[in-house]
Amino acid sequence: MTAPLPRHGGFAESELRHVLERACETAGLDGTGAVLLRGHTNAVVRLAHAPVVVKIARRGSHPAGVERTVRFVRWLMERDFPTVPLYPGPDQPVVIDGHPVTFWTYLPQPDKPMTAGRIAGPLRALHRLPAPPFRLRPLDNVSAIRASLAVITSLPQESVRFLSRRVDRLEKQLTDLTYELPEAVLQGDPQHRNALYDGDRAVLCDWDTVAWGQPEWDLTTIEIHCRRFGHGTEHYEQFARAYGYDVTGWSGYPVLRDIRELRMVTTNARKAAHTPGSLAEVERRIVGLRGSDSQLRWSIL
């Protein structure tokens, strides 16, 4: 590794070096000189001597979940779907000391940002796929929020109670919604950082959250990222035009928006104990939720 890795996302540098070296040996790859790209939930590392990105999940991640992700991406590749491809070679995932590891083809990225408008095409194509020949888990943001709330240790109890009351109220509102779009394959967390350029086209990546459910969830997530992370209204409007549907015009949008934002807050609150510097941002977001400030700009964690 050429860049030092602080303890971030549950990894220490020595642990990451060890897992990377052993995983590369198993796959017949050279891990020397590798560069860390991300170190939040997973460690994402680009190799220096092959066009490969290595994704290392935290210790204790269920290999079965990673196996499902690999199976799904292979299915996408068979259909020539615009996804970042798995790197050909070893059976995946490789499990090293409790860390499931996967290998992906590295795609060089141009000096231009990914836009929501470019994500619209592959996301629409995803939502139009047939159901795969294996079961996808149903998307359940409410259960994910409750699971995070149960293990949060970094927030004051009063803040946890506020978040719990909020999800209780939103869960009741969710049962009254009537959706406009048919159920489909969902990316689960579509956003600018989960798409890459493959030449001139955009391809989707990071399939850990793939699920089955209402496309309105994916579309609401895109809108939140445009609004909360400074991309702007025009950025989202370009996406809605390209996709062919504006979720903000649907009566159920405010409920999905509030649930999806709550999941983003509680997920980061759960991780705050091992993600230095994130707690202040989580608390700032909670203050915004208390004040119903839907325009507060969030910092990316």
Convert the pLDDT of each residue in 234-293 to its tens digit.
999 999 999 999 999 999 999 999 999 999 999 999 988 777 788 999 999 999 999 999
Q: What is the pLDDT of residues 31-51, one digit of tens each?
A: 999 999 987 778 999 999 999
Beta bridge mates, 204: 83, 195
Residue 3: pLDDT over 50: no
pLDDT tens-digit series, residues 291-300: 999 999 999 9
* Domains, in order of start, for the chain: 13-105 (3.30.200.20), 116-290 (3.90.1200.10)
For 10, the token pair is 């549950």
Q: How much of the chain exceeds pLDDT 90, in percent?
A: 86
Instruction: Please compute the mean of the pLDDT values over residues 117-141 and round it to a whole number.
Output: 97
| Positive or negative: CA dihedral 132, 261, 259, 66 | positive
Residue 178 CA to residue 288 CA, distance in Å, equals 28
- By CB atoms closer than 10 A (0-12, 13-18, 19+), residue 287 is exposed
Tokens 């996709």 correspond to 243
Q: What is the CA radius of gyration of the chain?
A: 19
